[in-house]
A and B are shown apart, each in its own frame.
Chain A
């Protein structure tokens, strides 16, 4: 039997090959046939989840709640020391110096990454901005969000902090950070679906020992991670509760 693995579409483009290498490594270590399917858009990912096609997923925290509550997924591991953060950025020449300066009908550029958008919109709340009184500019990726700012097509942009940090120096020079979130408790997680759950302990063991494995360390490096750390069930429940409080 072959299983399907996927990665939340907000993965950094330069890590794409890393995920394929990881999948090859994981197949060898677990002796399971696992096919990696990458989706470019959340819409496609959510259709695959709804059709119960996915067995293993590096999931966005926004999707984690649905995967646990509706699809019976369980957490395995998270990248050690990593958390999801968002940035509100403006054009470096913008006269906006504080979120409180923003007014209704502000043009806000963002991607379809749901947790980054959620964190970003929370950071815009102090200006009384919400989905109903902004002009949204949905962009295909974080670089295009930055370009909307440079061209003056957007007043503010919501960007995944990691993606912002990886923008070229040239781009960053023309942008300014208005707010960087310091939430620390929201993170992506590698999760295992019902068809593979009899092997949950094996997978967890393999992954937790990965950084000490001769080849595993290099594979982690290709993903930009130092090691995996275990996610306890209660830890996942806590993050789901947290997302629930934020999603209002």
Chain B
């Protein structure tokens, strides 16, 4: 279940956008220009079910997303999707992992408070007994040069 973002959760001036996901559902998101720097030395780890529902998060995920663990578990992973991210990037992610391969890319994630943080993400399918039972995503700190390249590139893909 994914619900619209609430103005009372937002820190600072915000803009509104409506995102439509690949399953046809929509969500109103509120976003600001406030970046939360990725902390040195940490990894953000999460696991989802095969259809993208969050089943595990680590503490760094909770801290960086701004949501509580209870809010995250059972929510679709697209709860973090930022309107500046081109849909093509997520299509490529899903096409790749559904082929059973590893995907890597740079992602701008949306926080509960409307701010954002950049990550270098790697997603792999969890194969157990020959079947994909979910996906693990690990995010690490990206370099500023990679982020700057994405800031220039992503608007051209939307």
Contacts and interface: CB of A to CB of B under 8 A. Distances in A.
A and B: bona fide binding partners: yes
Interface of A: 99-100, 122-123, 125-128, 179-185, 234, 237-238, 241-242, 244-246, 248
B122 A245 contact: yes
Interface residues of B, number: 29
SS class, residues of chain A in contact with chain B: helix
Contacts of B137: 245
A101 to B, nearest CB: 12
A238 B40 contact: no
A61 to B, nearest CB: 13
B141 A126 contact: yes
Interface of B: 38-43, 45, 47, 58-60, 102, 104, 120, 122-124, 126, 128, 136-138, 140-146
A245 B124 contact: yes
Contact of A122 (B39, B104, B140, B144): B140
10 contacts: A125-B140, A125-B143, A126-B38, A127-B143, A179-B40, A182-B41, A182-B60, A234-B128, A242-B45, A245-B124
A246 B60 CA distance: 16
B122 A248 contact: yes
Given A128-B143, A238-B47, A123 B41 contact: yes
Nearest to A233: B128
A245 B123 contact: yes
A242 B41 CA distance: 16
Contact of A181 (B41, B122, B126, B142): B41
A185 B136 CA distance: 13
Contacts of B124: 241, 244-245
A241 B126 contact: yes
A246 B122 contact: yes
Contacts of B120: 125
B61 to A, nearest CB: 12
B158 to A, nearest CB: 26
